[in-house]
A and B are shown apart, each in its own frame.
Chain A
Amino acid sequence: MLSKKEKKLIKEMWERLTPVAEDIGSEALLRMFASYPGTKTYFSHLDISPGSAHLSSHGKKIVLAIAEGAKDISQLTVTLAPLQTLHAYQLRIDPTNFKLLSHCMLVTLACYLGSEFTPVAHAAMDKFLSAFAAVLSEKYR
């Protein structure tokens, strides 16, 4: 469960990261593809090479959706309703992959924020991304 303090911290962090959504998002995806090659199977229809337009726009899309969810964490189910449907009925990405992307998102944030990515911030972020992934997979079955 996220405390009030943690929700505030997460909201502020994603507000700061929104201007660099493209960079953060595409880096997280690249890290995921490098460490977990199986994840590339979901992107056979896109050009996911470093620096590609597809990678940038897709990375940006993902980060902006996460940032939107961070604005009001108590309303995650409402905010994510359309994305829940998309992932459950169209994309059908195996939910184990959400953990892999979340991990790579944390690594990206650590590289980007350095010592500012304190253990407390890391804990809050990990909890938030887990909650986000859980809500995202709610309509799967």
Chain B
Amino acid sequence: MVAWSDQERSIITSIFSNLDYNDVGPKALIRCLIVYPWTQRYFASFGNLYNADAIKTNPNIQAHGTKVLHGLDRAVKNMDDIKTTYAELSVLHSEKLHVDPDNFKLLADCLTIVIAAKMGSGFTPEIQATFQKFLAVVVSALGKQYH
């Protein structure tokens, strides 16, 4: 079980309550596909991903990015038991989607950069550390059901 201080909880809920999921989700996924191009292997059915512009304007990527952020929202609303909340998602990513769990960290890092660019100096070192702690728990929970 992960321990969250009151301050950490409030930092996480505050960050997410100020996000437009339709904007940040796609931005993070797009960034991941551009910065770590090998992650494109999981999106072969999504259509044109041949260059940065194609990725940025791909409607399937847009929809999927938003979906991912809504998935994260579930973790924000269940911070005390992210592992159980994500059990099904973990099975899905392992058994059906066959995603290498190392990739979760890559997307998490890209989301951190997107939030940093959005919040500027408001994304202090302490807030960054809390946000990264949250994402590390999420990443761990997503990888839990792999076998």
Contacts and interface: CB of A to CB of B under 8 A. Distances in A.
A11 interface: no
B119 A111 contact: yes
Contacts of A33: 125
B145 to A, nearest CB: 27
Nearest to A106: B113
B125 A30 contact: yes
B15 interface: no
A111 B112 contact: no
A4 B143 CA distance: 38
A120 B121 contact: no
B117 A115 contact: yes
Interface in A24-55: 27, 30-31, 33-35
Interface string A90-133: 00000000000001101100111111010110110010000000
Given A113-B117, A114-B120, A120-B52, A107 B34 contact: no
Q: How large is the interface on A (under 10, 10 to 19, 20 to 34, 35 or more residues)?
A: 20 to 34
Q: How large is the interface on B (under 10, 10 to 19, 20 to 34, 35 or more residues)?
A: 20 to 34
Q: Interface majority SS on B: helix, strand, loop or mixed?
A: helix
A110 B128 CA distance: 12
Contacts of A114: 117-118, 120
Q: Interface majority SS on A: helix, strand, loop or mixed?
A: helix
Contacts of A117: 113, 117
Given A34-B129, A35-B129, A107 B123 contact: yes
Interface in B47-105: 52, 56
Nearest to B51: A120
A34 B121 contact: no
A111 to B, nearest CB: 5
Interface of B: 30-31, 34-35, 52, 56, 109, 112-114, 116-121, 123, 125-126, 128-129, 132
10 contacts: A31-B125, A110-B113, A111-B116, A111-B120, A114-B117, A117-B117, A119-B30, A119-B31, A119-B34, A122-B31
